[in-house]
Amino acid sequence: MSRLSAVFLVLALGLGTEACDPCAGIVGCTGAPRMSVGGQLIVHETGEAVEGAVLDFVRTGGVALARDSLRTTTDGEGRFQLSAEASDVGEVVGDLTVQPPAPWLPYRVRGQTFLTSDVRGEGQIIGRWVVDPYVETIAQLERRGDGRLLAGARVIIIRIGGVTTTPDSSDLRAGPDGRIYFEADAAEPGDMLADVVVESAELARSYRLTRAAFVAKYQDLVPQVDAVWRFGPGLQYVGEIRRADISGAVAGATVEFQRTGGIQVTPSLMVSVTNASGRFPFTLSSLDSGEVVGNLTVHPAAPLRDTTFTGIRLQTFESDIQRLLNVWFIAPPQ
């Protein structure tokens, strides 16, 4: 490398390093570390700004501040700012209490994490908070056997504990997309616990979800699908193929399951391939509860030989958690 090329390389590396610095080339850009947090307080139901609300922040951990307790009041546009000098750049942890004017009630959000910075004018925007915490949940209902959307399903939500809400029960109908929209006023942020009863013409019986958690929010968020609930019988199994001589996994083997009896399943002939751990999924579905019987044939790579296991039984169960059905061992090459 020539001396001139080396000089250009050094300059390029130096400029690259400075480009990563937000204050590169700016005189007086940095200063003493500081926490500066801004946001807005509104009424969730109307979007109206709330003036005169008091916000108290109490530091509980993280970077030390010049003062461990900070107070601010929202202006005519509902905006607020919390700021204090900090001992270092990093994270500050604390509790933030919102005390809105009547008729709204105060609430506390614990364990908030705010950032400090030594870049002048830099701050953290925490968005729009609300004076009226709320539950707003969109849930999608599906039939486990085939993924069919449960359009028109009746959904009854009954509060059993946690955060107090109004109303404390709701009777809803799923739309054509199999979704319900559940909304309630909450006394404070946290989890509302409820039992959920689901009835649908597409299901053989009614179902109950016990102690389902619905989050009471304190931020003004765009609604989205929070949960997918599946009901009905399923066959969420995996199997495993290993060698009998060394107990090693048989990877890349083609596995066939042929139904011979029991409940109807789709497909009646399942084909899968084992992964590096020798495992494969049973990609079967059924709308019926009960047991399916079939034969399992393994086609491994040479020199291992094809092997068939007969009388394999799979019992339906109502869960989305996969279960290990069995570990099958195939004979070593002769």
Say yes or no: 211 and 270 in one domain: no
Give the total number of structural domains in the chain: 3
**Residue 333: predicted pLDDT:** 83
Question: Residue 310 phi/psi, 5° resolution?
Answer: -100, 160
Q: In which residue ranges of the chain is pLDDT below 70?
A: 1-28
Contact 82, 26 (CB under 8 A): no
Phi-psi region of 91 (alpha: psi -120 to 50; beta: other; left: phi over 0): beta
**Residue 36: predicted pLDDT:** 96
**Residue 2: predicted pLDDT:** 54
Amino acid type, 138:
I
Grouping H, G, I as helix, E, B as strand and the rest as coil, residue 51 is coil
Which residue among 97, 122, 147 closes a domain? 122
Which residue among 122, 148, 169 closes a domain? 122
Say yes or no: 97 and 188 in one domain: no
For residue 332, is the peptide bond before it cis, meaning its omega torsion is within 30 degrees of 0? no
Contact 218, 129 (CB under 8 A): yes
190 in a domain, yes or no? yes
Element of type H or E holding 107: strand 107-119
Say yes or no: 109 and 146 in one domain: no
Query: CA–CA separation, 45 vs 42, rounded Å?
Result: 9
3-state SS string for 187-234: CCCEEEEEEEEEECCCCCCCEEEEEEEEEEEEECCCCCEEEEEEECCE
24 in a domain, yes or no? no
Query: CA–CA separation, 24 vs 17, rounded Å?
Result: 9
Domain range for 43: 30-122
Q: Kindly tell me the burial class for residue 8, based on how many C-beta atoms sit within 10 Å of its own C-beta (0-12, 13-18, 19 or more).
A: exposed
Query: CA–CA separation, 40 vs 129, rounded Å?
Result: 6
**Residue 126: predicted pLDDT:** 96
Q: What is the CATH number of the domain that holds 282?
A: 2.60.40.1120
User: pLDDT of 57-86, one tens digit each?
Assistant: 999 999 999 999 999 999 999 999 999 999
Question: Is 0.85 surpassed by the pTM of this model?
Answer: no
Q: What is the CATH number of the domain that holds 39?
A: 2.60.40.10
